[in-house]
Structure 1
């Protein structure tokens, strides 16, 4: 080799072109021969699987020698080109190109050598259970294959063989690491089908065993073998997958059940041969529906501290394994704690909110412990945020419970009623006197209408009182629910008070939407329920007038500035009650007119069948009025009752008057029959105006019939005319100033005279007097 270099570097510093070309050609042949031998050896070793270790070592030595010669020749050529660039640029450029090609081939051969040595060392490390070294060597081999792939001139069959061998070796390593993992971390689980319907008994078979986790000589810590396995898995990029599978089993079979079942706890046992075992157990049946936060935190910390001590206290790069597991499980377990524990620990009464500070502190301590073990990173978490926002959650829970309770009351039966008397007062809580209302004194056990104003002129004791009537018991309870909810808003935070106040408004809006729809058929079918619904709406409208005013001064802004009011809902409820009752009245009025339509227009009553039909129609009308009176007597307020019954009676007699006025010929016998039927109405009609049993002795309402029945006077005059003679009719007309003229027009009276009396001179004289 030295003689060859001496010949190349001539004493004069000049090289013969022909000699240099010959030597480069000779070197190229040598490189090609070496390349063929190396590729042949690699093919035999990794593609054809022929044992050729000794030959490969000799070839590696030969590759090194050729590489050194190439370096010397390259330097020589570069020096020669610089000295003679103006002489032989073209010739030397060609020679340099050939040389660079040979250099690339040498680099490829070096990568092949690197791959081979890395694979051999990896195999040896794997046999010695040096998993970290084996993983690192595989990474070296993969880097060599990646370098080879970067050159397009690389032979594809050879690369395919190398990649396949690398994949097989990596899978072999992963398999061994998996076996070690299974031997160190052992789950004992019930059949998967047993866990599908979440059952407490199925979870009692769950165990997690950490092998080799105990040692007599050293402190508790993860075993060295486990650390090596974890490091090797991390190098090969399979650690995240392993930990993810572990976290899923841990969550499903251990952590979540501990949160969901109050009677479930964890038992940690330590045995020298068996390691550490975490097993779920049920010490005693608990009466609690949900675990308390302190119970959940203590059980979870016991599991996580044990895992941290014997498994997760391992650093992978610049990150601990506990942090990796924490990222995988924290979001899911924190949501489970929120929805299965904290949600049910929220107080249902504002007086218990101060005690909830204990839960907030327990949550802070829980998260602090997790941060110390590096399960948690950062300061703000959803769990602690949820616990600290207890006021909002209290309001949300309270609002939800209130709406559910309100809807239940609205869909309950309406016919269970309570009597409202004039001295009835809605019970309101005692509230402190606002500074702005120092002149107003509120009694102990204040009621809505018992505010005594310092004024010489007192209102009547009956002012702003509800008239006696009956309302649904559920509506009374609904109003009490609204008052209690507003009491919760007093003294609460602004956001909480706003939520509670508008929930009360939503209660009334819900009543407006739900009740008419839910009870629609019954409200049209049963007069009793329609009357109760009318009273319910008027009762609520009555209290909505002053309810907001009573609480407004005790609520935070902007509620105290005038937002806290229900006055805008008063017309809505009054209209709702009126519409419901009017719809029922229209139904009853239609039935009443239908009964009168069977009277054959009250004509030809001398015919027995016609008289029977007319008499039956009148009796049915009276019976319908009495039935309505019985249903509504103790339900509606007296004034509403009288107006309603007066309207029905007025409808009946108006229809009778119209039918009689249409008759063109009324015989004396027909007149007697008509008089008899009308007299029945006059005698029995007023009886329906006895709204209460105690009113039998007081005929005031019967005497006031004309106030409620507009056509009552007209009807009575008609009855008189049916039996009167011509002179009596003329006298009652009294030149247009008598009682008959007050009810009928002259043409109507003339038509009656023509129908009742035959055409005689006396009738003609009488007709002339009706002007």
Structure 2
């Protein structure tokens, strides 16, 4: 053992003589031998109880020596062997790095070679007008450049030059293909200023090259590979929409002419054969024209072309065996034009084909079928993808669109009537009735209930109500308001038998008509209603006419409308108070204007004082004459317009205002001479004689003669005024007699203080006057 340790120490760290594995195996054997001896010694010591102290000490020394040898070997391995291992690993890493660098260089050289070969093939294909091969070779070159750019360690100065060359050649290819496109796809638009863009138009022709169809397909495929097809087709689709597809939808007189020649290709042209008397084309006409254009384009470009954004290089890297994605030209074109052309068809064709009468809705199923066939044809040609489109959805929602169109037309017509002139009037008689349509019989329960109610009302009417109950009095209303009511009736008739949604829309449109009248007419005609008494009276009658018919309008239609309208929602009664108030306010405002004018005229009478002065008398007489003239003018304007009762109340109110003002002015006089009294009597007598003339009925209103001549019924101050006129010419005794101790006619109209003031103003201060004053109590 000592010789082995000596030999290890003598080696001085050099492991060239023996290999580590052999030394380690020797060491292992020595360890096993030592273990056996130790175990044997232990057995003898503790098992056999044989004292062998000296043997055990020698074994301990032997164990210590073996341990030292192991420590020395371990240190040797750690200090020398591990160091040599690190050196070897570093050398290996350096060699590996050098190998990778060489590999990168070889790969980059391969890409450069690939780029060079691709560009050579590209130039060759471009000269031979093999645009698809040229585009593919250019993509090979692009792939090589992209691969070179992908290496972060790549610092080739040549890389920028390669990229520039690639860009230049791509633009060169696109230029050549654009030039071919211009020669193969030609738009000829009219340049004459005197002609519309739709005349003599030959938009799409292909000519110039032998077999233009094959060449055009080659150009399209090359454009798709280069990613420029989408942009090119987009520009083409915009011109196609503007100059061909949209005009075919909008103008009914246009037609499409297709001519095909084997060498020159296909020509699509718009031509205006004759002026059409129709304002809009029917959907079937539009569909047939559009299909002719699209079928021609589809026939010319039926080959599949590579889609513009294929991920070719990813497929190559992954070694995917999938086929390249392809999309037809019609699919690309359809994706670009469908949304815009479908909206054009909706707004310029289908919108105008929607019927305006509910009876025509069944015939519209033909349009729905035509729309379905149109979309089916587009799907077969791959212009259209998917199942649900806005065009077909719009056509199928005809009930909703019918209601919306009907409501819009009704509101427009109603607003036109409301803003028309009001002075065109029609006479309304008490027996005038609305021309109510004949409606279908309601269901049995509602019918029984309706008959029972009618029977009860009839019995009640025979007992209490006259034939003229709930009838409008004779008056004049605007012709436009009568037409407005007819419009409301027709709209409600459209709601009968319609779907629930349609009926609701139409019913509330009618309510909106009346609400619009309530809001628009007073505002739109505001100045005229204040300026012209005639219009104010007509507006009053209009409002009362509408309020009268709104009471029963909902009741007439309720049983014939779907739920919830039939359950009580269909009513207009809530609008009646508003219309009555609106009419009353309008006429009262005009009465206030006339009242102010009467008072203004009377203010020029110099308070009826000093009438012995000729100027004062002339001014007072003129004021009275102006008042009478104004009342007569109003009577001429209002008498044939207003109902008799309203007319009498209005004229009585105005005459009463004038009389009350005259009475007030006279009662304020402190001194009235005999001449002044005579003049005052003359002026007042004029009013008494001519004032009631405004109540004389028209020839056709003879039955109202008595009713209209009851002047004191409408002029509250009439009796007071007549007593004043009597007093102005009476002597003291006559005044005292008419007073009759506070029981005479004079006492009914004036107070004692007012009579005393009159006596003091009319008579001088004498004993007779004093006696008369004492009798006025």
TM score, norm. by length of structure 2: 0.81
Asked if the contact 1:125–1:133 (Cα under 8 Å) also holds between the matched residues in 2, the reply is yes
Provide, for residues 701-737 of structure 1, a one-character-per-residue CA deviation record: whole Å limited to 9, x for no partner.
Answer: 4541111011111111111222222222222222222
Tell me how far apart the structure 2 counterparts of residues 187 and 46 of structure 1 sit (CA, whole Å).
118
Residues 450/640 of structure 1: CA separation in 2 closer, same or farther (3 Å cut) = farther
Deviations 1:86-113 (A, max 9, x none): 5522333333333333332222222212
**1:392/1:664 CA distance change after superposition, 3 Å:** same
Moved more, 597-606 or 29-38: 29-38
In 2, distance between residues paired with 1:114 and 1:46?
86
Distance apart, 1:349 and its partner CA: 1.1
Q: Structure 1 residues 213 and 517 mapped into 2: Cα distance closer, same or farther (>3 Å)?
A: closer
SS of 2:10's partner is coil
After superposition, the Cα gap between the structure-2 partners of 1:93 and 1:583, relative to the gap in structure 1 and judged at 3 Å, is same
Q: Which residue of 2 aligns with 1:386?
A: 394
Distance in 1 separating the partners of 2:595 and 2:699:
25
CA pair 124-711 structure 1, distance change in 2 beyond 3 A? same
SS of the residue 1:643 aligns to:
helix
Q: Using a 3 Å threshold, how does the CA distance of structure 1 residues 37 and 7 change in structure 2: closer, same or farther?
A: closer
Match of 1:300 among 283, 290, 296: 290
| Distance in 2, Cα, partners of 1:275 & 1:52 | 122
Task: Decide whether the 8 Å contact of 2:211 with 2:263 is kept in 1.
Answer: no
Instruction: Check 1:179–1:604 CA distance in 2 against 1; reply closer, same or farther (3 A cut).
Output: closer
Contact 2:719 2:749 in 1 (8 A): yes
CA pair 691-44 structure 1, distance change in 2 beyond 3 A: farther
State the Cα distance separating 1:519 from its structure 2 match. Answer: 2.0
Contact 1:538 1:577 in 2 (8 A): yes
Match of 2:150 in 1: 150
Structure 1 residue 661 displacement after superposition: 0.7
Q: Indicate conservation of the 8 Å contact 1:347/1:353, yes or no.
A: yes
- 1:532 and 1:522 mapped to 2: Cα distance? 12
Q: Residues 767 and 141 from structure 1, CA distance in 2 versus in 1: closer, same or farther, beyond 3 angstroms? A: same
Q: CA deviation at 1:367?
A: 0.4
Task: Measure the CA separation in 2 of the matches of 1:159 and 1:49.
Answer: 91
Q: Displacement, 1:562?
A: 2.2
- The answer to whether the 8 A contact 2:736-2:772 is kept is yes
C-alpha spacing 1:285/1:612, structure 2 compared with 1 (3 Å): closer
Structure 1 residue 39: deviation in Å? Answer: 77
Mean Cα deviation higher: 354-363 or 166-175: 166-175
Preserved CA contact (<8 Å) 2:202 2:267: no
Counterpart contact for 1:214–1:272, Cα < 8 Å: no
Contact 2:208 2:264 in 1 (8 A): no
Deviates more, 1:19-28 or 1:29-38: 29-38
Distance of aligned partners of 1:210 and 1:589 in 2 relative to their CA distance in 1, 3 Å threshold: closer
The more displaced of 314-323 and 732-741 is 314-323
Going from structure 1 to structure 2, the CA distance change for 1:295 and 1:13 (only over 3 Å counts) comes to farther
The 2-side partners of 1:259 and 1:701 are apart by: 68
- SS of equivalent residue, structure 1 residue 278: strand
Once the two structures are TM-superposed, the CA of residue 317 in structure 1 deviates from its matched residue by 2.7
Q: Deviations over 1:644-681 (max 9, x none)?
A: 01001100110111111111111222222212211221
Q: After superposition, what is the alpha-carbon deviation per residue over 1:232-264, rounded to whole angstroms, capped at 9, x for unaligned?
A: 211111111111122112111111111112121
- How far off its partner does 1:222 sit? 9.3
* 1:319 corresponds to 2:327: yes
Alpha carbons of 1:62 and 1:701: their partners in 2 closer, same or farther (altered >3 Å)?
farther
Contact 1:233 1:239 in 2 (8 A): yes
User: After the TM superposition, which of the residue ranges 239-248 and 420-429 deviates more from structure 2?
Assistant: 239-248
- In the alignment, the residues of structure 2 paired with residue 48 and residue 343 of structure 1 have an alpha-carbon distance, to the nearest angstrom, of 121
By how many angstroms is 1:635 displaced? Answer: 0.7
CA distance 1:650–1:454, shift in 2 (3 Å): closer
Quote how far apart the aligned CAs of 1:684 are.
1.4
Instruction: Name the CA distance, whole Å, in 1 between partners of 2:467 and 2:494.
Output: 31
Shift of 1:606: 2.0
Relative distance call for 1:468 and 1:148 in structure 2 (3 A) is: same
The 2-side partners of 1:170 and 1:69 are apart by: 78
Whether the aligned pair in 2 keeps the contact of 1:690 and 1:701 (CA below 8 Å) is no
Give the Cα–Cα distance (whole angstroms) in 2 for the partners of residues 54 and 181 of structure 1: 113
CA distance in 1, matches of 2:671, 2:160: 122
Give unpaired runs (5+ residues) of structure 2.
Answer: 297-305, 310-321
SS in 1 for 2:102: helix
**Are 2:206 and 2:264, in contact at CA under 8 Å, matched by a contact in 1?**
no
Q: Give a deviation string over 1:595-653, Cα, whole Å, max 9, x none.
A: 11111111122222222222221122111111111111111100000000100110011
Structure 1 position 316, deviation (Å): 8.2
- Aligned counterparts of 1:610 and 1:620: Cα–Cα separation in 2: 15
Task: Return 181-190 or 102-111, whichever deviates more.
Answer: 181-190
Listed one character per residue, the Cα deviations across residues 438-486 of structure 1 (whole Å, up to 9, x for unaligned) are xxx8999999999967976473211111100111111111111111111
Question: Structure 1 pair 735/341, CA: closer, same or farther in 2 (3 Å)?
Answer: same
Q: Structure 1, residues 544-600: CA drift from partner, whole Å, max 9, x if none?
A: 111112112212222222222211221221122112111211111111111111111
Q: 1:426 to 1:2 in 2, by over 3 A?
A: farther
- 1:491 partner SS: coil
Cα deviation code 1:29-87 (max 9, x no counterpart): 99999999999999999999999999999999999999999999999999999997455
Paired residues of 2:407 and 2:506 also in contact (CA < 8 A):
yes
- Contact residue 428 and residue 448 of structure 1 kept, 8 A: no
Q: 557-566 or 24-33, which moves further after superposition? A: 24-33
Q: Pick closer, same or farther for the CA change 1:348–1:130 going to 2, 3 Å.
A: same
Aligned in 2, Cα 1:724/1:708: closer, same or farther, shift over 3 Å?
same
- Write the mapping of 1:53-92 to structure 2, written as runs, cut at 5 A: 85-92=85-92
- Kept in 2, the 8 Å contact 1:118–1:141? The answer is yes
Q: How much has 1:339 moved relative to structure 2?
A: 1.3
Moved more, 634-643 or 589-598: 589-598
1:280 is paired with a residue whose SS is strand
Distance 1:55 1:302 in 2: 120
Judge conservation of contact 1:430–1:444 (CA < 8 Å) in 2.
no
Q: 1:691 offset after TM fit, Å?
A: 3.4
d(CA) in 1 for partners of 2:153, 2:361: 76
Give me the whole-angstrom Cα distance separating, in 2, the residues matched to 1:298 and 1:35.
108
Preserved contact between residue 214 and residue 270 of structure 1 (Cα < 8 Å): no
Indicate the SS of the match to 1:32. Answer: helix
CA distance in 1, matches of 2:557, 2:722: 55
* 1:330 aligned partner: 338
**What CA deviation, in whole Å up to 9, does each residue of 1:384-424 have, x standing for no partner?**
11111111211222222222222222222211111111110
Q: 1:83 to 1:387 in 2, by over 3 A?
A: farther
Whether the 8 Å CA contact 2:183–2:208 is kept in 1: the answer is no
Query: C-alpha root-mean-square deviation of aligned residues, in Å?
Result: 17.5
Distance 1:385 1:492, change over 3 A: same
CA distance in 2, matches of 1:43, 1:115: 85
Q: Distance in 1 between matches of 2:620 and 2:173?
A: 108
TM-fit CA distance, 1:497: 1.6
Structure 1 residues 380, 699: closer, same or farther in 2, change over 3 A? closer
Q: 1:315 to 1:57 in 2, by over 3 A?
A: farther
- Runs (5+) with no aligned partner, structure 1: 194-204
1:446 aligns with 2:447: no
Q: How many residue pairs align between the two structures?
A: 754
Contact persistence 2:334–2:383 (CA under 8 A): yes
Measure the CA separation in 1 of the matches of 2:47 and 2:514. 84
Partner SS state of residue 218, structure 1: coil
